[in-house]
Structure 1
């Protein structure tokens, strides 16, 4: 009889937890009411002696644009009574190891690297996932919605926020490399922690050259490689004009729209607390995008290589096949690929994939 009695005694506590959690995730309530519910549920109270160490990857360190944007987010997070210390890292790989070891309570990293911690949100950066910025915006709105909260926890880690990083395009040092067939025999940068990239590049007859995310732009600028995938916003700060001169160009078709993701240790950051941070990140979308757009506008029009419509369809089919292959290999989340396809079709129902969905 002891077990049923114990169960009955615990039911009111479970009901109270459920009610508090509903309050935390109810965006129609005043913010302070939701915060009070979160604190009652998690036991977290404002503590001037407790500071969360948030590590920020920016290849330019404390003076870089990512760190500056993170400081803006810090001011929003402070309104929840949470003390945050932002620490810059110029090496993403070292920062990730420090997150795993517990030196960092949370870490802001590229969406590509975030896939190591949450495959669902890490697939936001999938190849060809979002041809248009508005599609990424809708996706990030959905990620910040409380109905997605359970998806934000994976193993020992929780996604605390996702920020847009702008469009990534293919940079080439020879304008004649404007189709997949013409990439055959060319040297293409692939990231050292992403072995699938090498297989894909080899699949189109090109030569993969392994590099880390910091060295890759310099390899393009010095002619070590012929092809580089990079964010347009990095054109000036990474001095990519050096690799484009004199006869290079930028394929005028987004390879993807990239993200930066804040990954926290779930044992330190409850998902109910992370929900407020996710909402703050999404509220900062326009501010972040305005900075990204300013950087993208610095790319001279002369560099863009217009892609004929038929070739665009070829690129889109190639990117779809790559996504399917990576889904089968367990690299991409099938659920996220389905969501991305629905968002693309919502924007343009005439797309081939909308009548014959395979994702």
Structure 2
């Protein structure tokens, strides 16, 4: 009895100590649908795995990404899960993953994420007082159009495109093709497309049902079957929130969820009727790829082909990595030997 009593006393004495070892971090999580959305569920699954690593994330859902950003900036949370377009302000390297036309397929994306989640790439995950602690696929962004004949660059000239206010590379791209920018937010671009106050909008496949974009497509529109870019959800933390080892573990745990997240992405894309997809002729794809490449170079260097200043948006080393991955998968592409290759 004495031994049992002694053992119980020791365990009770250690309980508060063990509890104190679990680190707690408040995380603001953006999901347009809220706590019932797929993005929130993805972060919930990640958080459960991190709990086993001794880190407890207290999740707070936000349906407005701007508000989530403000809460993070105000210190209401020490971690933020949001789209890479927003996270770019904290890390230009990982924010370049959504560069226009830079990741043509999910195979390319998996190869890239596998590379940058290795410990050898950890230096790129830190920028200033912040660190990227996880990256998840949200799906390729496609062009949704009200007129399915709008399938070439020339067709876009003069058309109105819903363009996110905080997406400077998309604004540059729209101007590049001589289309008209319709400033929009993630909460209202779907409505503008559905009431046809714009001719086109870009979004991942899940938006077809979630935002009812099929209403804007109607009988005449479609979805252009060519990825404009790859959207990701990224977790950024204040640099002092996690140790270097914990941050690396977090990135690896997040990457473990890649296949699950991608499965969900593909299911949403399969829900789009086959006759809604608009195939681009093979002869035009090379022109699209070169146009995207020139845009990326301009947004890397901060100057366009006419010598005018444009925003410096993209991280050069990430663009080089993405080019190497593309050329590993398709070594015969003209960009692989171009004198101005990324």
TM-score scaled by length of structure 2: 0.89
Give the superposition deviation at 1:194.
2.5
Give the superposition deviation at 1:231.
0.3
Equivalent residue number for residue 203 of structure 2: 230
Equivalent residue number for residue 133 of structure 2: 160
> Using the alignment, how far apart are the partners of 1:115 and 1:219 within structure 2?
26
Aligned pair in 2 of structure 1 residues 46, 128: CA closer, same or farther (>3 Å)?
Answer: farther
Task: Give the conservation status (yes or no) of the 8 Å contact 2:23–2:54.
Answer: no
Give the superposition deviation at 1:221.
1.1
Task: Give the conservation status (yes or no) of the 8 Å contact 1:114–1:122.
Answer: yes
Give the superposition deviation at 1:121.
0.5
Give the superposition deviation at 1:202.
2.2
Equivalent residue number for residue 291 of structure 2: 318
1:345 matched to 2:324: no
Q: Deviations over 1:39-73 (max 9, x none)?
A: xxxxxx86278521111100111111111111111
Give the superposition deviation at 1:315.
0.8
Q: Deviations over 1:62-105 (max 9, x none)?
A: 11111111111111100111121111001111111211221111
Equivalent residue number for residue 191 of structure 2: 218
Aligned runs of 1:41-190 on 2, under 5 Å? 47=20, 50-190=23-163
Selected match of 1:260 from 216, 227, 233:
233
> Using the alignment, how far apart are the partners of 1:289 and 1:199 within structure 2?
29
Q: Deviations over 1:127-185 (max 9, x none)?
A: 01110101100111112100011110000110000001111111100011111111111
> Using the alignment, how far apart are the partners of 1:242 and 1:354 within structure 2?
41
> Using the alignment, how far apart are the partners of 1:195 and 1:331 within structure 2?
8
Give the superposition deviation at 1:198.
2.5
1:298 matched to 2:271: yes
SS in 1 for 2:136: strand
> Using the alignment, how far apart are the partners of 1:161 and 1:80 within structure 2?
15
Equivalent residue number for residue 313 of structure 2: 331
SS in 2 for 1:165: strand
> Using the alignment, how far apart are the partners of 1:250 and 1:146 within structure 2?
38
Aligned pairs, how many? 316
TM-score scaled by length of structure 1: 0.85
Task: Give the conservation status (yes or no) of the 8 Å contact 1:108–1:262.
Answer: yes
Q: List, as ranges, runs of 4+ consecutive aligned residues in structure 1 with deviation greater than 3 Å.
A: none
> Using the alignment, how far apart are the partners of 2:187 and 2:245 within structure 1?
34
After superposition, the CA RMSD in angstroms is: 1.6
Gaps of 5+ in 2: 1-17, 303-311
Task: Give the conservation status (yes or no) of the 8 Å contact 1:158–1:271.
Answer: no
Gaps of 5+ in 1: 1-44
Task: Give the conservation status (yes or no) of the 8 Å contact 2:22–2:55.
Answer: no
Deviates most, 191-200 or 273-282: 191-200
